[in-house]
Amino acid sequence: MRILAIESSCDETAAAVVEDGRRALSNAVASQIEAHKIYGGVVPEIASRMHAEAICAVVREALEAAGVSLREIDAVAATAAPGLVGALLVGLNYAKGLAYANGKPLVAVHHLRAHAAANYLNSELAPPYLCLIVSGGHTHIVEVLDYTTFRVVGRTRDDAAGEALDKTARLLGLPYPGGPHLDHLGRGGNPNAYKFPRPKVPGNPYDFSFSGLKTAAMNQLRSLNPESSLSNPDFAASFQFAVADYLCRNFLCAAADLGYQTLALAGGVCANSVLRAEMKARCEKLGLTLHVPGLAYCGDNAAMVAAQAYYEFRAGHIAGLGCNAAPSLSIEETP
Ligand code: KG4
Ligand code: ZN
């Protein structure tokens, strides 16, 4: 089964064709980063408008790269939740138009479910497994009970891990989005040069608070002279180590308590080299199997949306043409 999927929840306009949820035939992405850079973050209205400008060309590129026509597509999918509402509506409504005009079923996909499904594109991973989803907007520890049944066991109470990395990178004078630049700067830096807390959150041992970590970074940077705070590799390495260690601790604690041997990482932040290395080393030591998406499938892309759409379709989750974007739907709910 071939699914054409569209992703437009934030600042990437993406389209892809994936076969049977596992084999990506194409994965086209048009990034808006340059347009948002001068504002230091994503400007929602600019994002919506740029999706509208890019979407026709990106979908055409995905079909051409896959070598298939619309007639050879079995279903059309789009991210319907969560995300910026104006941005989501562009991709969802474009998918609706394609589905209607070509007589194909429409599948509405949850963005975080899709991030987890990125793992299906380069491994044999199958539920049940425990997944750590770390992106710019979300930090979740999720039980993937079957392909379309999810249970959140831990989450951030405030900032997402990606937000904390981006904001700290900004304090170090790095451009938006800071995560990849911080990763680059920290290579060769000393991860033990600066100390950061691992905030405990009352009520749930698997929950996170990244705003506390971010404030600790801000306070330490204030005590340094401006020259040593800008582009400081030791600070970049230490902060990333703190974030990775905090994520590993709560995730592996949840895995032990809930009895999971199969684990997966997902989301833009799992492209981070420190997080990947730390999680891999600790899982090896504990004899746990860890799945990590290929770098092309960590950040926002449409191949992951098509992968999840395949399993939603098989579960009978076909969207009507009246389906709407939901900017803040839980991963436990099907859009
Ligand atoms: O999943 P994603 O592409 O978009 C959302 O759904 O939010 O995640 C974007 C986040 C940003 O915070 C970005 O800085 C971060 O992922 N990111 C990284 C790296 N690559 C992307 N953070 C740390 N190291 C990286 N290599
Ligand atoms: Zn994302």
Average pLDDT over residues 177-200: 95
pLDDT score at 134:
98
pLDDT score at 222:
87
Kindly report, residue by residue over 161-180, the tens digit of the pLDDT.
Answer: 999 999 999 999 999 999 99
pLDDT score at 92:
98
Residue nearest to atom 8 of ligand 1 (CA): 268
Residue nearest to atom 23 of ligand 1 (CA): 179
pLDDT score at 250:
98
Task: Say yes or no: 76 and 195 in one domain.
Answer: no
Residue nearest to atom 11 of ligand 1 (CA): 136
Which residues, judged by CB distance below 6 Å to any ligand atom, belong to the binding site of ligand 1? Answer: 10, 135-137, 162, 165-166, 177-180, 183, 267-269, 271-272, 299-300
Task: Say yes or no: 196 and 304 in one domain.
Answer: no
Full domain range(s) for residue 152: 126-292
Task: Say yes or no: 83 and 195 in one domain.
Answer: no
Cα of 105 from ligand 1 centre, angstroms: 31
Domain assignment of residue 332, yes or no: no
Task: Say yes or no: 31 and 62 in one domain.
Answer: yes
Cα of 222 from ligand 2 centre, angstroms: 31
Best residue among 165, 185, 241 to mutate for probing ligand 1's pocket (most ligand atoms within 8 Å of CB) is 165
pLDDT score at 226:
74
Domain assignment of residue 273, yes or no: yes
CA angle 89, 18, 322 (to 5 degrees): 30
Domain assignment of residue 321, yes or no: no
Question: 154: which strand partners?
Answer: 141
Distance CA 182, CA 47 (A): 24
Q: What are the residue ranges of helices labelled H in 156-232? A: 161-171, 178-186, 210-222, 226-229
Q: What's the number of domains the chain is made of?
A: 2
Question: Beta strands of 178-284 (E only): which ranges?
Answer: 262-266
Domain assignment of residue 207, yes or no: yes
Percent of the chain whose pLDDT exceeds 70: 100
- Give the atom of ligand 1 at the shortest distance from the alpha carbon of 112: 6
**Which amino acid type is present at position 111?**
H
Kindly report, residue by residue over 226-245, the tens digit of the pLDDT.
Answer: 777 788 999 999 999 999 99
Task: Say yes or no: 101 and 39 in one domain.
Answer: yes
Domain assignment of residue 328, yes or no: no
Task: Say yes or no: 110 and 135 in one domain.
Answer: no
**Which amino acid type is present at position 270?**
C
Residue 296: pLDDT above 90?
A: yes
Task: Say yes or no: 103 and 186 in one domain.
Answer: no
Question: 327: which strand partners?
Answer: none
Average pLDDT, the chain: 96
Task: Say yes or no: 68 and 203 in one domain.
Answer: no
- Give the atom of ligand 1 at the shortest distance from the alpha carbon of 137: 7
- Give the atom of ligand 1 at the shortest distance from the alpha carbon of 111: 6
- Residue indicated by tokens 């929950």: 207
**What's the pTM?**
0.97
3-state class of 88 per DSSP?
helix
Q: Which residues contact 209 (CB under 8 A, 6 or more apart)?
A: 156, 157, 158, 199, 201
Task: Say yes or no: 154 and 270 in one domain.
Answer: yes
pLDDT score at 143:
98
Residue 144: pLDDT above 80?
A: yes
Q: What is the CATH number for 186?
A: 3.30.420.40
Closest to 88 (Cα-Cα) out of 150, 14, 27:
14
Closest to 94 (Cα-Cα) out of 296, 298, 302, 299:
302
Residue 224: pLDDT above 90?
A: no
